Amino acid sequence: MGSPEKKFKVGACTASIFVNEANTKDGKVPIKTVVLQRVYKDKSGKFQNVTSFGTNDVPKAVLALEKAYDHMVSKDIGE
């Protein structure tokens, strides 16, 4: 996976948008996907990324996903 097109961070939650290409009968088309992660510091002080979310993280994860979705849809209609 390369670099994300865009990242949306809300608290410890980040939604990253990646663009890949898919081959279709009409040629290559861009396919956007979102990776949702939460960052935390482990006991040794090192940052870790995980895909599990506690109760207090869920609203932040939802907001990050909403921002990512808005960006994806806005880009598709030319904004």
- Domain boundaries of the chain, sorted by first residue: 6-76
Q: Measuring CA to CA, which residue among 66, 68, 46, 47 is closest to residue 58?
A: 66
How do residues 6-28 score in pLDDT, each as one tens digit?
999 999 999 999 999 999 998 99
Do residues 20 and 33 lie in contact, with contact meaning Cβ atoms separated by under 8 Å? yes
Looking at residue 60, the DSSP 8-state letter turns out to be H
pTM, rounded to two decimals: 0.83
Q: What was the pLDDT predicted at 2?
A: 83
Q: What was the pLDDT predicted at 79?
A: 45
Task: For the chain, list residues with pLDDT below 70.
Answer: 1, 75-79
- What average pLDDT is seen over the chain? 92
CA distance 41 to 64: 20
- Please give the structure tokens belonging to residue 15: 């939604």
